[in-house]
Amino acid sequence: MSNKKKFHCIFPVGQNVHLIKDVGMIPFMLHKEGYYDSSISFYENESDLPYLLSDVKGLKYKRISKIFKNEDYNIFIFLLCNFWKLDIVMMFHPSFKKLLLANLFHFLSFGALKFYFKLDIDESVFDTDFSQNIKNNIKKMLFRRVDLITVETSKINKFLNEKTYIKSKLLPNGFKSEEMKSLPTEKENLFITVGRIGSYSKDTETLLRAIQNLELLDWKFLIIGSIEEDFKTKIDEFFSENPKLTTSVFFLGSISDRKKLNEYYKKSKVFVLSSRYESFGLVIVEALSQGNFIVSTDLIPSREIADSAGYGKFYPIEDDVSLRCILQDIIHQKYLLPSPQSIENYANENYNWSVIVTKLYNMLEKNNLS
């Protein structure tokens, strides 16, 4: 029987795809690196989570029963039945009720059960009310008893620590390195984007407006991700108005096979992000890990990840003209892209999940979780 501490991630609404995002990768990599005996809980049946047998093999799964409509009540029942078997519980988005639960089970376990909250927040936090009132004073007290709180970007981390009652630590997201063939010496003239196509947050409309006015020459554009139903007619209209682009712009749909998706990243030179907002943008570090240069809306995580190393260009949100100009300059080689190998090395040194979870483990242990 393992003597390692039991690390458990609770994320009731999780689906298979969440296992290869931060939700699943943090507990999995903590297990893989030998730090903890890790497990995770969703509402989903284990049979509907194929990544458990492939991408996160070794991560244990324990289903949360969906007894109530409110997930906080279901978390309460789950913890009531299991808290004495766990050492560290990880949760996301610390609502008032989740904070109450953390404080309650910290008390019931006589301080033995520790709680780690990953905030996963975007720039909207700057508009949040942190003024002194009864509710915020109670939340301040509840936050004090949480063992570790992390946030993904340094600007937001600084804001929280200097301007609010939340005392967080910086921990970015990462990517999982794969034992696959190295990057090609010469990549193809491909732009790529990956996300929920047609969703408000991803702002695919701005991307299409930029593309339709591009002189693509021998470049092609790969658009990957599930397509919102009401956006399919807009795609039809796009090709109806721009028939010549049918041979250079391709909607490939959702690709669940990670190896296949990584092959598209490997071939591509430039990753384009058109989002209106992102809490971090896992796709950015995934793209960097495959040697992609980044063209993104001017968001805090995009800047922090790619700008300091000179691996990105940025444009204002919803500004298709500025996006088109950047892409056109790349096509016409007015801007020379860094080598894919230098981009890949930067990603490995800073955003490999192995590096990230080592930092997390050290944070947890320094918070007296031993």
Q: If you ran DSSP here, which 8-state letter would residue 303 be given?
A: I
CA 121, distance to chain mean position in Å, is 11
- How confident is the model at residue 307, as a pLDDT? 86
- How confident is the model at residue 204, as a pLDDT? 97
CA gap 332, 215 in Å, rounded: 9
Superfamily of domain 6-174+353-366: Glycogen Phosphorylase B; (3.40.50.2000)
- How confident is the model at residue 367, as a pLDDT? 57
Give residue-wise pLDDT tens across range 213-229: 999 999 999 999 999 99
Domain covering 190-350 assigned CATH 3.40.47.10 in the classification: no
Residues in the chain with pLDDT values less than 50: 180, 368-370
- How confident is the model at residue 369, as a pLDDT? 45
What is the length of the chain? 370
**Tokens matching residue 317:** 């949100």
- How confident is the model at residue 183, as a pLDDT? 79
- How confident is the model at residue 366, as a pLDDT? 80
Residues 6+ away with beta carbon under 8 Å from 366: none
Give the start-to-end residue ranges of the domains of the chain.
6-174+353-366, 190-350
Question: pTM of the full predicted structure?
Answer: 0.87
Which 3 state secondary structure label does DSSP give 333? Answer: coil
Q: Determine phi and psi for 306, rounding to 5 degrees.
A: -110, -25
Q: Do domains 6-174+353-366 and 190-350 have the same CATH topology?
A: yes
- How confident is the model at residue 181, as a pLDDT? 54
